[in-house]
Structure 1
Amino acid sequence: MLSRLAQSFRPKADKYAASPQRRDSHFHNPVPRPSQAAGATLRIIWNALFNKPTGTQPDAPLPVRPLTRIELDAAPDRSLYRLGHSTMLMKLRGGYWLTDPVFAERASPFQWMGPKRFHQPPIALHDLPPIRGVILSHDHYDHLDRSTVQYLAATTDVFLTPLGVGDRLIEWGVDAAKVHQLDWWESIEIDGLRMTAAPAQHFSGRTPFDGNTTLWVSWAIFDDELRVFFSGDTGYFDGFKTIGERLGPFDITLMETGAYDAQWPYVHMQPEQTVQAHQDLRGRWMVPIHNGTFDLAMHRWQEPFERVVLLAIERDIPLATPRMGERMDLAAPRTGERWWRNVDAASDFHWESATSLRKMY
Structure 2
Amino acid sequence: MTTSLLKPVATPAAARKETSSRYDNGRFYNLDPTEKVPHQLWKIFKALLFGNYPRRVPDKYIPIQTLTAAILDNLAEDAAVAYRLGHSSLLLKLDGHFWLTDPVFSERASPVQFLGSRRFHQPPISVSELPPIKAVILSHNHYDHLDKHTILQLADKVEYFVTPVGVGLDLQKWGIDPVCIIECDWWQSIRIGETEFTATPAQHFSGRSLGDRDGTLWCSWVIKGQQKKLFFSGDSGYFSGFKHIGQEYGPFDITFIETGAYSDLWPDVHMTPEQSVQAHIDLRGKGMVPIHNGTFSLSFHPWDEPFERVSKAAQEQQVTLHTPLIGAPLDLDEPGETEAWWRLE
TM-score interval for Structure 1 and Structure 2 normalised by the shorter chain: over 0.9
User: Which amino acid letter does the alignment assign opposite residue 83 of structure 2?
Assistant: Y
Q: Indicate conservation of the 8 Å contact 1:320/1:335, yes or no.
A: yes
User: Which amino acid letter does the alignment assign opposite residue 194 of structure 1?
Assistant: E
Query: What does 1:34-45 correspond to in 2, within 5 Å?
Result: 34=35, 40-45=40-45
Encode CA deviations 1:220-245: one digit per residue, 9 max, x unaligned: 00112411000000000000010000
Q: Indicate conservation of the 8 Å contact 1:13/1:25, yes or no.
A: no
CA, structure 1 residues 223+14, in 2 after alignment: closer, same or farther (shift >3 Å)?
Answer: closer
Q: Distance in 2 between matches of 1:100 and 1:260?
A: 19
Query: What does 1:69-148 correspond to in 2, within 5 Å?
Result: 69-76=69-76, 77-148=79-150
Where does residue 177 of structure 1 map in the other structure? 179
Q: Distance in 2 between matches of 1:154 and 1:52?
A: 44
The Cα shift of 1:15 comes to 3.7
Q: Indicate conservation of the 8 Å contact 1:14/1:25, yes or no.
A: no
What SS does the corresponding residue of 1:151 show, helix, strand or coil? helix
Encode CA deviations 1:176-220: one digit per residue, 9 max, x unaligned: 001000000000111111110000000000000000000000000
The Cα shift of 1:52 comes to 4.8
CA, structure 1 residues 315+282, in 2 after alignment: closer, same or farther (shift >3 Å)?
Answer: same
When the two structures are superposed, what TM-score results if normalisation uses the length of structure 2? 0.93
Q: Distance in 2 between matches of 1:231 and 1:174?
A: 25
The Cα shift of 1:37 comes to 8.9
Q: Distance in 2 between matches of 1:253 and 1:133?
A: 19
Q: Distance in 1 between matches of 2:188 and 2:16?
A: 17
CA, structure 1 residues 254+144, in 2 after alignment: closer, same or farther (shift >3 Å)?
Answer: same
Q: Distance in 1 between matches of 2:69 and 2:181?
A: 26
Where does residue 7 of structure 2 map in the other structure? none
Where does residue 153 of structure 1 map in the other structure? 155
Q: Indicate conservation of the 8 Å contact 2:36/2:205, yes or no.
A: no
Cα RMSD of the aligned pairs, angstroms, is 1.5
Q: Indicate conservation of the 8 Å contact 2:203/2:236, yes or no.
A: yes
User: Which amino acid letter does the alignment assign opposite residue 53 of structure 1?
Assistant: Y
Amino-acid identity (%): 51
The Cα shift of 1:14 comes to 4.1
Q: Between the two structures, name the one with larger relative contact order (CA 8 Å, sep ≥ 6).
A: 2
Where does residue 352 of structure 1 map in the other structure? none
The Cα shift of 1:315 comes to 1.1
When the two structures are superposed, what TM-score results if normalisation uses the length of structure 1? 0.89
Where does residue 355 of structure 1 map in the other structure? none
Q: Distance in 2 between matches of 1:68 and 1:34?
A: 43
Query: What does 1:192-203 correspond to in 2, within 5 Å?
Result: 192-203=194-205
Q: Distance in 1 between matches of 2:38 and 2:72?
A: 49
The Cα shift of 1:48 comes to 3.1
Q: Distance in 1 between matches of 2:118 and 2:47?
A: 17
CA, structure 1 residues 26+315, in 2 after alignment: closer, same or farther (shift >3 Å)?
Answer: same
Where does residue 18 of structure 2 map in the other structure? 17
Encode CA deviations 1:101-141: one digit per residue, 9 max, x unaligned: 00000000011000000000000111111111100000000
Q: Distance in 1 between matches of 2:38 and 2:290?
A: 32
Where does residue 275 of structure 1 map in the other structure? 277
Where does residue 290 of structure 1 map in the other structure? 292
Where does residue 306 of structure 1 map in the other structure? 308
What SS does the corresponding residue of 2:109 show, helix, strand or coil? coil
Q: Which runs of 5+ in 1 are unaligned?
A: 1-10, 346-361
CA, structure 1 residues 311+156, in 2 after alignment: closer, same or farther (shift >3 Å)?
Answer: same
Where does residue 53 of structure 1 map in the other structure? 53
Query: What does 1:209-224 correspond to in 2, within 5 Å?
Result: 209-224=211-226
CA, structure 1 residues 15+189, in 2 after alignment: closer, same or farther (shift >3 Å)?
Answer: closer
